[in-house]
Amino acid sequence: MADIDVEAVLAKLTIPEKVSLLSGIDMWHTKALPAHSIPSLRFSDGPNGIRGTKFFNGVPAACFPCGTSLAATFNTQLLTTAGAAMGREAIAKGAHVILGPTINTQRSPLGGRGFESLSEDPVLSGLGAAALVRGIQSTGVQATVKHFVANDQEDRRNAVQSIVQPRALREIYALPFQIVVRDADPGCVMTAYNGVNGTYVSENRELLEGMLRGEWGFKGLVMSDWWGTYSTTEAVNAGLDLEMPGPPRFRGELLGFNVNTDKVLGHVLDERVRKVLNLVKRCAKAGIVEGAEEGGLDTPETAEMLRKVAVEGVVLCKNEDGALPLKKDKKTVIIGPNAKVATYHGGGSASLAAYYAVTPYDGITAKLTDQPAPAYTTGAYTHKMLPLLGYQTTTPSGAPGMTMEAYTSPPSPSSDRTPVDTLTVAKTEMHLVDYTNPHITTRTWYATFTGLLTPDFTGTYEFGLVVCGTAKLFVNDALVIDNSVNQTLGTAFYNTGTIEEKGTVPVTAGETYTVRVEFGSAETSPLPDISAALHGGGCLRVGGCRVIEPQEEIARAVELAASAEQVVICAGLNADWETEGHDREGMGLPGVMDELISAVAKANANTVVVMQSGTPVAMPWIGEVKGLVQAWYGGNETGNAIADVLFGDENASGKLPLSFPKKLSDNPAFLNLRAEKGRTLYGEDIWVGYRYYEFAEREVLFPFGHGLSYTTFGFKELEVVESEGKVVVEVTVTNTGAVKGKEVVQVYVAPPKGQGVNRPVKELKGFAKVELEAWQSEKVKVEIETKYAVSYWDEFRKQFCAEAGEYEVIVSDSSELKEGKALKGTFKVGETFWWLGV
């Protein structure tokens, strides 16, 4: 892809050509103008891996740990390395632009995309995201920081107005974006679906041209979220450069007409086009051929990097009586629904087909020496929808998954159809929006999915169907589920799929059953045409599992646990619960999971819990278990990373990037999460996360920044110097234990007493991670710009205010200050000043 002279090319373009550059041509590509040497750029999701251009049957990819896991590393150098790996993955997929990272604020544990974001704290989010962006863009691939701004819930996300006080907007929600612009010069920023204080972000001139470009000096491209453009003239004039995806809804001929009538002036049009051309110029450095074939980088080096990043995100939350690390030669029992399933990503834009995925059961089993595979039982179900059937079936030819045969006509007893395509599908959760076949020339088409199921039990098997379109499920030719007529809209597939319709079949161990699903594309659905509009080809999810009696299964788990020397419970959520499109209803674990954990802990005192969730869950049993590991969604290497930490082959070093409240009603956004009458009031103002819990003296389950180690650390010799606009904090860190480990130096700043506004007790302003051998000491330095260390937003002056006075610096290993674990120093700001910009 050749470099271009932006101004020379811009001068040659006609108005229709300029207009054509300001919207996508399809789901992932921009317009090419070969006569002017302007190539088509390819975009790709997403925040934790590069999916490529296919939702359905795409090229497998490296799945990185989720956003909260990345932030839990508190390691910007490692995140830069991870970002560079993301860039290389994008190059392999022929993608010029990555749609990530996500840095919205986790104001509530229930946010559907909370797992995708980094932190409740704007400084951790900003510094972490800046590190990722620097890594990505070191390869020439450009990053897209999203979703600007206050897109912190999924409820009514395309319609809701986020009502945010100016101070909270500046100090909490916009600050991560400000830091990324300051430190990493991102190629793109994506606008949020929602509005802020009455105006949709994609047409909010105050935010786009005023704050982002005017104050911060952002030079890159502003694109809409997918179908997040709501106007023609307003959005262009406000500063939205690119409408995505294509073909355009609000640009194209509409925009051309408005330019010709001076509703959009020529110089405004040129500025929007200039941003697109500048992005093309930036992307040229990656050397990606236009329309490149998609490939992968499934190498040992990729696996090693993914494992390292996943390990550093694992947080050891509790470890009583040396329960962890586990012993490799002890009899071990593994319990839980997350054990034999690799729960490696959340739902929505973060989902992708991984090169491979290691389950916790396999990771733990590989560590155990001189003994048979550990005993296992599910213990309790926690799925929202039934587990995917394709991972349990084989095709008639013996391959894992189900056979898909595509047709141009519907099934009929009197017709002898010939398939126009035959594929093998392992993951039976399918976005068929981008499925194509040259023989299928209309939006109405059909498919049959066939798989062989051989249960290892005698009992009842339950099947489930979710569809955007129509579907029927048969077992041995008997109709079990009809999801084709009386459909009910649900939340799956971005709220375009039906609820999960279910049916049961009695089965016998060892017998083979033929499962057949007859599918019709979105056009065949009796539901309103929103399904067809958003997901042309349709969507299908086929699930199934054994029906269990909860109390019988708990009793079985208890019996197994009583016979073991150590027990690991693999619990948590999955991509059905934490996903783009909807928020969680509550903080509790699903089903009888809490009851199971309590019962097993009573049966075996050496019980530890591995929790997989992207955001906090309630833990009423926490006092009953010896150990707790928060493992998030860890990507391809999920199981290995968990096992590395459980057995001490890698020392735990992750820190919580968000506070874990004891119960949902403790959360400051408890009363103000969902949309009401088209708006969500950010009533907690600046009091998000630990800022609220500390100010209100509200006890939490685990504080922000918390994380244990298998060794111990000490801080000493704190020095704080403020000079030439910087606060330099130096402290000596000593590994006071017997094994190598990593510690995070967290630097908090507390304001002077008696200022004119209420301010948090203290706020994170910087951090650094250091690795030390046993008994080793090292001096660690953290530098912070003075104005960022001390300022609050002055709503009268509409500027940041750095108020004169003496500020306290606290160096600690978490936001909770414990005796002997925190050092304090001070610095002074001699004269009050106000500022804007970065």
E strands, 170-225, where? 188-191, 195-196, 199-200, 221-223
Residue 375 · residue 330 · CB < 8 Å: no
Q: In the sheet where 446-453 sits, what is the strand order?
A: 421-425, 402-407, 446-453, 513-520, 470-475, 478-483
Verify whether residue 183 is a known catalytic residue: no
Asked whether the bond before 46 is cis by omega within 30 degrees of 0, the reply is: yes
Asked if residues 596 and 551 have their Cβ atoms less than 8 Å apart, the reply is no
Peptide bond into 149 cis (omega under 30): yes
Secondary structure (H, E, C), 83-96:
HHHHHHHHHHCCCC
**Reduced to 3 states, what is the DSSP secondary structure of residue 44?**
strand
Of 45, 152, 225, 576, catalytic: 225
Counting other chains too, the contacts that 764-768 makes at CB distance below 8 Å and 24 or more residues apart are 764/121, 764/123, 764/124, 764/704, 764/705, 764/815, 765/123, 765/727, 765/789, 766/123, 766/127, 766/729, 767/74, 767/124, 767/127, 768/744
H-helix or E-strand containing 512? none
Amino acid at residue number 267: H
Task: Give Cβ neighbours of residue 457 (< 8 Å, ≥ 6 apart).
Answer: 507, 509, 546
Pairing type for strands 188-191 and 142-148 reads parallel
Name the percent of the chain in helix, strand, coil, to the closest 5. Answer: 25, 25, 45
Interacting residues of 488 by C-beta distance below 8 A, sequence separation 6+: 498, 499
Dmax (CA) of the chain: 89
Scan for tokens 């589920």, then name that residue. Answer: 481
H helices of 340-458, in order, are 360-367
- Counting Cβ atoms within 10 Å, is residue 31 exposed (0-12), middle (13-18) or buried (19+)? buried
Which among 645, 457, 502, 491 has a CA at the least distance from the CA of 580? 491
Q: Catalytic site residues?
A: 225
